[in-house]
Amino acid sequence: MNSSLLFGITAIGLVCSSITLYYVTRVKNAFAALPRLERPWLLLEVGVACLIVAVLTIPAGVLTSPSGFLHLVQTVAVVLAAFFILTAMVTMKQAWTIKEDD
């Protein structure tokens, strides 16, 4: 694959992930006083950070010789990102259905 295309994909991924991380952090800070509502945003923040790690491994694979370790790091980062994002979605569902007497 063309290395300039990979660098473009990496740049777009980093910009989008950075913007997402900024807004998730702002929303998480808004719910800081309510621990049950802050936790889902923290999980989402960790998931987006894992995506940033996965995106950063794209140009590293182009600049260095392809290694199995780098591919393993990228795969683990993507799987962890999916896990944290899906866990955040489940905990958001639970947090939004809290009754007033809880």
> Within a 10 A sphere around the Cβ of 40, how many other Cβ atoms?
22
pLDDT in the model for residue 80: 93
pLDDT in the model for residue 97: 73
pLDDT digits (tens, 9 = 90+) for 28-62: 788 777 767 778 888 888 999 998 888 888 777 66
pLDDT digits (tens, 9 = 90+) for 4-36: 787 888 888 889 888 988 888 888 788 777 767
User: Which two tokens mark 62?
Assistant: 């182009």
> Within a 10 A sphere around the Cβ of 10, how many other Cβ atoms?
17
Query: Distance between CA 26 and CA 34 in Å, rounded?
Result: 14
Question: Quick check: 87 and 43 in contact, CB under 8 A?
Answer: yes
**63 has a pLDDT exceeding 90:** no
